[in-house]
Chain A
Amino acid sequence: MRVLKQLPIWAWVIVVLGLLVALFFIPGGHKATFDVSGEFVLHPIVKLPKLGPLDLSITKAVIYEWITVGFVCLFAALIHRGLTTRPGRFQTIMESLYELAHDGIAGAVMKGQGAVTWFPYIGGAFFFVLMCNLVGLIPLPFGTDHQLAFYAATGNINVTITLAVFTFVFTHYAGVRQKGPVGYFRSWVIPAPPFLKQFIFLSDVISQVFRLVSLSVRLFANMLAGHFILAVFFAMVLVFQSYLIGVVLQVGSVAVFLFEIFIAAIQAFIFAILSAVYIGSALEEEH
């Protein structure tokens, strides 16, 4: 051991380079092709009858969502049972997450009573999206041919658009509840010269609808792109069939994986904070 510690740094460089060259000369298997997009096709695992246009079959997206809901409920029950004044590691993590959702997201964007009224939705969306993104990084055997596959339920446009519709509906419900139906829609009209007024009203309506698109597509495309990159990194080992490239790609995929954990947390934060901003803008007194 002492000999190893005394080796100068250039010796380590030579050893590592020698190992890499040695890996280069080990022959790999046959080259294989891999279609990354096949990972994101949903095959029904349990086939159920169609209800009109709705396909009720259970796919891996549905199973990932159930797992997410299970985790959220489990964590909530655990933290509820074991609350102490001397917090352990688990309670500290949960308390800081709750504080982030309560003070960092809802309390920072909305003021006063609005934050209290709408925190359950904002916090619920934050924890659900966060857990969905994180559970999506665990490979589970729901792929085709029973191989392990990554799949985030939030990497599916149907899931994210449902979440965005919730925010959209709650935004207008909050506005109508605060100001009454007439007062709320009148608050979209601002005092301005005649033609400018209609134009601004129209662009406001368009932007309200476009929030639905941007909120859903942002989360969906982020998670989809992240899983594409992960799948490409893992599949390149199959394509190149070389031990040298395999080692290099393993290091790369670990780095990408860690980055994806960061992205998962950031996206949950952004979804929650934009929901809070939209609901808060409907509650505002003046336009």
Chain B
Amino acid sequence: MDVSAATIAAAATTEQGLRLLGAGLAAGLGVVGPGVGMGLLFGSSIESIARQPELRGEIRLNMFIGIGIIEALALYALVVALILLFVVK
């Protein structure tokens, strides 16, 4: 009897630990791709502003649209992490 209770407790903590690990990995690895994408976006928009400063406004507008779209990807990872932490039981 005692042994089975201990087994259940161990299983519960392992499950919780795996959930925490999964949440951490989801948030951490999910940021890698958007980070690369945002670096490329900023790099090329700064380069094009340096080349054609008169188009600054238009380039910045398109840059913000791109930021919005890329940023959503990182936030999906965050939402998955939060679901793993607080919703999945």
Complex interface: chain A residues within 8 A of B58 (CB): 108
Known: A37-B86, A214-B72. A221 touches B78 (CB 8 A): yes
B54-89 Cβ-contact flags toward A at 8 Å (1 or 0): 000010010011011101100110110010011000
Q: Does A217 lie within 8 Å of B61, measured CB to CB?
A: no
CA distance A104 to B61 in the complex (A): 8
List A69-97 residues whose CB lies under 8 Å from chain B: none
Report the contact-size class of chain A (Cβ under 8 Å from the partner). 10 to 19
Q: Of A104, A108, A218, which contacts B75 at CB under 8 A? A: A218
A106-139 Cβ-contact flags toward B at 8 Å (1 or 0): 0011000000000000000000000000000000
Stretch of A198-206, A248-256, A269-277 lying at the B interface: A269-277
Known: A37-B86, A225-B78. A218 touches B64 (CB 8 A): no
List A263-286 residues whose CB lies under 8 Å from chain B: 266, 269-270, 273-274, 277
Q: Of A108, A224, A266, which contacts B61 at CB under 8 A? A: A108
Known: A273-B64, A277-B65. A217 touches B72 (CB 8 A): yes
Known: A108-B61, A269-B64, A270-B67. A221 touches B86 (CB 8 A): no
- Secondary structure at chain B's binding surface: helix, strand, loop or mixed? helix
CA distance A221 to B85 in the complex (A): 15
Complex interface: chain B residues within 8 A of A273 (CB): 61, 64-65, 68
Nearest CB of B to A164, in Å: 12
Report the contact-size class of chain B (Cβ under 8 Å from the partner). 10 to 19
Nearest CB of A to B15, in Å: 19
Query: Residue A187 at the B interface, CB < 8 A?
Result: no
Complex interface: chain B residues within 8 A of A37 (CB): 85-86
Q: Of B64, B67, B75, which contacts A217 at CB under 8 A? A: B75
Which 3 residue pairs across A and B have the least CB separation, nearest first? Answer: A221-B75, A270-B68, A218-B72
Interface residues of B (CB under 8 A from A): 58, 61, 64-65, 67-69, 71-72, 75-76, 78-79, 82, 85-86
Beyond A221-B75, A270-B68, A273-B65, list 19 extra A-B contacts (CB 8 Å): A37-B85, A37-B86, A108-B61, A214-B69, A217-B72, A217-B75, A217-B76, A218-B68, A218-B71, A221-B76, A221-B78, A222-B71, A222-B75, A224-B82, A225-B75, A225-B78, A270-B65, A273-B61, A274-B65
